[in-house]
Amino acid sequence: MYNHRLAIGPFSFSLSTNIRSVSQQIEQLYAHHLCHPCPSYVDFNVRVKTPLSHRRWFRPQVEFFMDEINPFKPLPRDQAYPMLEWGMNWCIANHAHHYLIEHAGVIEKNGRVIMMPATQGSGKSTLTAAMMLSGWRLFSDELALLSLQGNEVIPLARPINIKNDAIDILQSHFSQAEFGDIAHDTLKGTVALMKPGQESVANMHQKAPLHCIVFPTYKAGSEARLSPLSSLDSFQRLIDNSFNYNVLGAEGFHKVADILQSVPSYEFEYSRFEDASDTLDKLVEDA
């Protein structure tokens, strides 16, 4: 059994696996995290392993566990590493209710955070990765952690989940992009995890205030266009993209209302990374 301990933002994980390739990808994609000391306590004790049955040999499968809880159906063995990352998302989204958790990419520059909530297929992760590779600090690709006590966003720098054609697009645009193994035929298509930048990981305990909310959409051939969004439309979209709004109840309602009274929201359509970077840069420039 291969064992790893990781500090990831405000959480600590114990990761165990009997699959060598999974351990190798942890060492590759979390190399910067492994340079940081891990707390003595563990928030989440997770395992990804092949079951002790005939399925080890015939169409081998893999299972995910948090402690003794097995929340997912088995997946093909060659999807073991994506399953680990998806399982880690599940751990946080289902247990960290001292935050409002949004399905969003989160980036920071000049001490100002842009949160980019979006549904699957909008290009959120691709844009988040491209901005990190263009000099922004990665806070999160998948889970935005919003403090319930103030305007701060809590970093959660982890590998970025890139899908389908976006893998080749990012590799062709950014020579420094580093990916783990590619998994084919998953429920999300072809998937590869991209290593987070060293600076983002080194600063993963430095919170910053939310500056604005941007709802991105990739549209081939379009010019970069940023349009103000009403608080009413933003409210509904934040609810739709939240993992735990219904769990938080009234506290969640007041948190979303406070956010929209404090920061502006925009719709953002783009096609070229360079144009997207220029547009988002202007949002965080000093007046």
- CB-CB contact of 228 with 220 (8 Å): no
Residues 6+ apart with CB under 8 A from 264: 212, 213, 228
For position 58, what pLDDT does the model report?
A: 61
pLDDT at residue 53, as a whole number = 61
How far apart (Å, rounded) are the C-alpha atoms in residues 221 and 223? Answer: 7
pLDDT at 266 over 70: yes
Would you say the C-alpha torsion 7, 160, 269, 224 has a positive or negative sign? positive
Q: Residues 49-62: what's their mean pLDDT? A: 73
- For the segment 22-43, the average pLDDT, to the nearest whole number, is 94
* CATH assignment, 99-158+196-287: 3.90.228.20
Q: How confident is the model at residue 120 (pLDDT cuts 50, 70, 90)?
A: confident
Q: How far is CA 214 from CA 94, 128, 163, 218, in A?
A: 25, 12, 21, 13
For residues 4 and 17, what is the distance between their CA atoms, to the nearest angstrom? 9
Q: Is the pLDDT of residue 248 over 80?
A: yes
Distance in angstroms (rounded) separating the CA atoms of residues 160 and 125:
7
How is 75-105 classified by DSSP, letter by letter? EEGGGHHHHHHHHHHHHHHHH-TTEEEEEEE
Where in the sequence of the chain do the CATH 3.90.228.20 domains occur? 99-158+196-287
pLDDT for the residue 287? 47
Which tens digits make up the pLDDT trace of 126-166? Answer: 999 999 999 999 999 999 999 999 999 999 999 999 999 99
pLDDT in tens, 161-201: 999 999 999 999 999 999 999 999 999 999 999 999 999 99
CB 267 within 8 Å of CB 226: yes
Structural element, H or E, at residue 221 = none
Q: Which two tokens stand for residue 254?
A: 């007041």
Least confident of 66-70, 117-121, 193-197: 117-121
Contacts 24+ apart (CB under 8 A), 140-143: 140/104, 140/105, 140/106, 141/105, 142/89, 142/103, 142/104, 142/105, 143/89, 143/92, 143/93, 143/101, 143/102, 143/103, 143/104, 143/243
Region 206-211 average pLDDT: 97
User: DSSP letters along 148-167, please?
Assistant: SSSSEEE-----EEEETHHH
Query: Is the pLDDT score of 55 beyond 70?
Result: no
- Is the CB of residue 233 less than 8 Å from the CB of residue 287? no
Question: What is residue 37's predicted lDDT score, i.e. its pLDDT?
Answer: 87
Mean pLDDT for the stretch of residues 226-245: 96
> What residues pair up with 182 in beta bridges, in sequence order?
none
Exposed e or buried b per residue across 232-263, where buried means at least 16 C-beta atoms within 10 angstroms of its C-beta:
eebbebbeebbbbbeebeeebeebbeebbeeb
